A and B are shown apart, each in its own frame.
Chain A
Amino acid sequence: MANAKTNSEDYLRMYRQMVRIRTFEDNANQLYLSAKMPGLTHMYSGEEAVAVGICEALETRDKITSTHRGHGHCVAKGAEFKQMFCELLGKEEGYCRGKGGSMHIADQSNGNLGANAIVGGSMGIATGAAFTSKMLGRDDVAVCFFGDGATAQGLLYEVMNMAALWHLPVIYACENNGYSEYTKTEEIAAGSITDRARAFGIEAHQVDGQDVLAVNALTTDLVARARKGEGPFFIELMTYRYHGHHVGDINREYYRTKAEEKDWKENRDPIIRFRAHLITEGLATEDEIEAMNAEIAADAKAAVDYALDAKYPDQSEVDMHVYSGITHALA
Chain B
Amino acid sequence: MREITLSQAVNEALAEEMRRDDTVFIIGEDVAEAGTPFKVLSGLVEEFGAQRVVDTPICEPGFMGLAVGAAMTGTRPVVDLMFGDFIFLIMDQLCNQAAKTHYMSGGKLSVPLVLRTNMGATRRSAAQHSQSLHALVAHIPGLKVAMPSSAYEAKGLMKTAIRDNNPVVIFEDKLMYQDKAPVPEEEYLIPFGVANIKREGTDITLIGTSSMVQVCEKAADILAAEGISAEVIDPRTIVPLDEATLLASARKTSRVIVVDEGHQSYGVTGEIASRINEKAFYHLDAPVLRMGAMDVPIPFSPALEDITVPTPEGVAAKARMLVAGEMIDAA
Question: A residues touching B (Cβ–Cβ < 8 Å)?
Answer: 63, 65, 94-100, 104, 106, 108, 113-114, 116, 118, 121-133, 135-136, 142, 154-155, 158-159, 161-162, 165, 320-325, 329
Known: A108-B109, A323-B142, A325-B165. A121 touches B66 (CB 8 A): no
Main secondary structure of the interface of A (DSSP, over half): mixed
Q: In the bound complex, what is the Cα–Cα distance between A319 and B300 (angstroms)?
A: 43
Q: In the bound complex, what is the Cα–Cα distance between A129 and B109 (angstroms)?
A: 13
Q: Chain A residues with Cβ under 8 A from B73's Cβ?
A: 63, 113, 128-129, 132-133
**Do residues A323 and B102 form an inter-chain contact, with CB atoms below 8 A?**
yes
A156: nearest chain-B partner, CB-CB: B62
The interface bits of chain B over 108-142 (1 if a CB of A lies within 8 angstroms of the residue's CB, else 0) are: 11101000000000000000000000000000011
Q: In the bound complex, what is the Cα–Cα distance between A24 and B68 (angstroms)?
A: 30
- Confirm or deny: B103 has a beta carbon within 8 angstroms of a beta carbon on chain A: yes
Q: Chain B residues with Cβ under 8 A from A128's Cβ?
A: 65-73, 77
**Do residues B74 and A154 form an inter-chain contact, with CB atoms below 8 A?**
no
**Do residues B104 and A100 form an inter-chain contact, with CB atoms below 8 A?**
yes
**Do residues A124 and B108 form an inter-chain contact, with CB atoms below 8 A?**
no
Question: B residues touching A (Cβ–Cβ < 8 Å)?
Answer: 23, 25, 51-52, 56-57, 59, 61-75, 77, 92-93, 96-97, 101-110, 112, 141-142, 144, 164-166
Q: Chain B residues with Cβ under 8 A from A142's Cβ?
A: 69
A-B interface contact total, Cβ < 8 Å: 153
**Do residues B142 and A322 form an inter-chain contact, with CB atoms below 8 A?**
yes
**Do residues A124 and B106 form an inter-chain contact, with CB atoms below 8 A?**
no
Q: In the bound complex, what is the Cα–Cα distance between A113 and B65 (angstroms)?
A: 13
- Tell me how far the C-beta of B22 lies from the nearest C-beta in chain A, rounded to whole angstroms: 8
**Do residues B102 and A132 form an inter-chain contact, with CB atoms below 8 A?**
no
Known: A121-B92, A124-B61, A136-B75. A329 touches B102 (CB 8 A): no
Q: In the bound complex, what is the Cα–Cα distance between A329 and B192 (angstroms)?
A: 14
Q: Chain B residues with Cβ under 8 A from A162's Cβ?
A: 56-57, 59, 62-63, 66
5 examples of A-B residue contacts, CB within 8 angstroms: A106-B105, A123-B65, A158-B65, A159-B62, A320-B107
Q: Chain B residues with Cβ under 8 A from A113's Cβ?
A: 69, 72-73, 109
Q: In the bound complex, what is the Cα–Cα distance between A106 and B109 (angstroms)?
A: 9
Q: In the bound complex, what is the Cα–Cα distance between A198 and B75 (angstroms)?
A: 29
B67: nearest chain-A partner, CB-CB: A128
**Do residues B166 and A114 form an inter-chain contact, with CB atoms below 8 A?**
no
Known: A131-B66, A159-B62. A97 touches B107 (CB 8 A): yes
Q: In the bound complex, what is the Cα–Cα distance between A165 and B63 (angstroms)?
A: 13
- Tell me how far the C-beta of B241 lies from the nearest C-beta in chain A, rounded to whole angstroms: 12
**Do residues B70 and A132 form an inter-chain contact, with CB atoms below 8 A?**
yes
Known: A113-B69, A135-B70. A158 touches B61 (CB 8 A): yes
**Do residues B108 and A127 form an inter-chain contact, with CB atoms below 8 A?**
no
Q: Chain A residues with Cβ under 8 A from B23's Cβ?
A: 135-136
**Do residues A104 and B61 form an inter-chain contact, with CB atoms below 8 A?**
no
Q: In the bound complex, what is the Cα–Cα distance between A100 and B51 (angstroms)?
A: 34
